[in-house]
């Protein structure tokens, strides 16, 4: 279990004040100080929010009451569990921060196949989130002529020209870029890049492709 001393040390590592941490975690400065001084026992959800804030900013808590900067660079997720974990991350980021999520090279049938029963669960929660938060937006590029708009309740689709389409998706969410392959065993393999400069470069590519792509006649889910 994360201790108050670890939280105080993690703040120091990032050069944050108690007020800064409180604002990011949705708490008061007084609550943070009491947790750090261990004069109160925080609820599990409160502690998870604090830990989540630090993890988003590159700090992780280790055994023996330690902390460290997370290794930067690349994380690899594989198979059904990896895909579910990735979409959990997309949902949590959008829930906490809002923003624009962009994805290219999408073949929705592959995601439906590999997510299985988790697919409708994810679609339902994303739809609710977009309805609840007006600062969340999803843009998806699929192959010209593809009429599988599985996520049309919350995502805007455009048709990418056939000659420029390749079913190797990449996702842009916050400062992260995920590149996927469904040709691996197990499938898919998701290479998650956590380097903002790489994400910015791919976002420019997406935005240029979005401009030359066209809206389908009607965004309608396949039956």
- CA geometry: angle 48, 69, 47, nearest 5 deg: 10
Distance CA 82, CA 188 (A): 8
Residue 65: predicted pLDDT = 84
Chain centroid, CA 137 distance in Å: 13
Whole-number Cα distances in Å, 177 to 29, 192, 195, 204: 34, 6, 8, 12
Residues 6+ apart with CB under 8 A from 117: none
Q: Look at residue 11 and tell me whether its pLDDT is greater than 60.
A: yes
Model confidence at 36, pLDDT cuts 50, 70, 90, reads very high
- CA geometry: angle 178, 184, 187, nearest 5 deg: 70
Average pLDDT score over the chain: 93
Residue 74: predicted pLDDT = 85
Residue 217: predicted pLDDT = 87
| Domains of the chain by start residue, with CATH | 4-69 (1.10.260.40), 74-212 (3.30.870.10)
127-148 pLDDT per residue, tens: 999 999 989 999 999 999 999 9
Cβ contact 83:115 at 8 Å: yes
What is this structure's pTM? 0.71
């Amino acid at each position: 279990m994360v201790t108050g001393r670890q939280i105080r040390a993690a703040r120091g590592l990032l050069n944050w004040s108690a007020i800064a941490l409180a604002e990011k975690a949705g708490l008061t400065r007084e609550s943070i100080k009491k947790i750090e001084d261990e004069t109160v026992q925080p609820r599990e959800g409160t502690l998870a929010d604090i830990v989540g804030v630090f993890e988003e900013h590159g700090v992780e808590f280790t055994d023996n009451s330690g902390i460290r900067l997370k290794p930067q660079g690349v994380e690899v997720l594989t198979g059904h569990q990896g895909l579910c974990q990735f979409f959990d991350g997309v949902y949590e980021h959008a829930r906490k921060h809002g923003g624009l999520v962009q994805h290219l090279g999408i073949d929705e049938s592959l995601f439906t196949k590999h997510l299985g029963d988790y697919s409708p669960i994810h679609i339902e929660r994303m739809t609710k989130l977009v309805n609840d938060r007006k600062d969340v937006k999803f843009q998806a590029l699929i192959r010209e002529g593809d009429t599988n708009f599985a996520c049309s309740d919350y995502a805007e689709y455009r048709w990418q020209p056939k000659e420029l389409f390749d079913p190797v998706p990449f996702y842009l969410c916050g400062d992260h870029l995920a590149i996927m392959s469904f040709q691996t065993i197990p499938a898919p393999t998701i290479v998650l890049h956590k380097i903002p400069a790489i994400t910015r470069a791919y976002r420019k590519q997406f935005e240029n492709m979005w401009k030359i792509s066209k809206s389908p006649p009607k965004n309608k889910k396949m039956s």
